[in-house]
Amino acid sequence: EVQLVESGGGLVQTGGSLRLSCAASGFSFDDYAIGWFRQAPGKEREGVSCVGSSDGTKYYKDTVRGRFTISTDNAKNTVYLQMDNLKPEDTAVYYCAADSTGGACLPDVSAYDHWGQGTRVTVSS
């Protein structure tokens, strides 16, 4: 059974940092693409970053590129999202997701068939 459990969210001031973790089980990062998504109140869920299973190609949403870093630890089967220089507009519930078709990752919600429960990030101004 595929399971994804996020942690690491919290309240931080503008300019601060958080590291989100996604503990995965039931599959290998060699086979599944992994994505981080977020959903702010009243808005649609959007892709923030993802990493492909085949060559590890990474994607970043334009507004987070240079501030967020996605990484994987295969030994721990955990995916991280390091978030630096956080801004109030980064406030959202962040979700980890897995795409069982593997290959290159896509920042599209519809491409992912397994989701975690989410972790809330609040950035105060």
Q: Categorize the per-residue pLDDT at 83 as very low, low, confident or very high, splitting at 50, 70 and 90.
A: very high
Percent of the chain with pLDDT over 90: 93
pLDDT tens, residue by residue, 25-80: 999 998 999 999 999 999 999 999 999 997 779 999 999 999 999 999 999 999 99
Q: How many Å apart are CA 90 and CA 81, to the nearest integer?
A: 13
**Cα-Cα-Cα-Cα dihedral sign, residues 122, 43, 68, 106:** positive
CA distance 114 to 96: 9
Confidence grade of residue 102 (pLDDT, cut at 50, 70, 90): confident
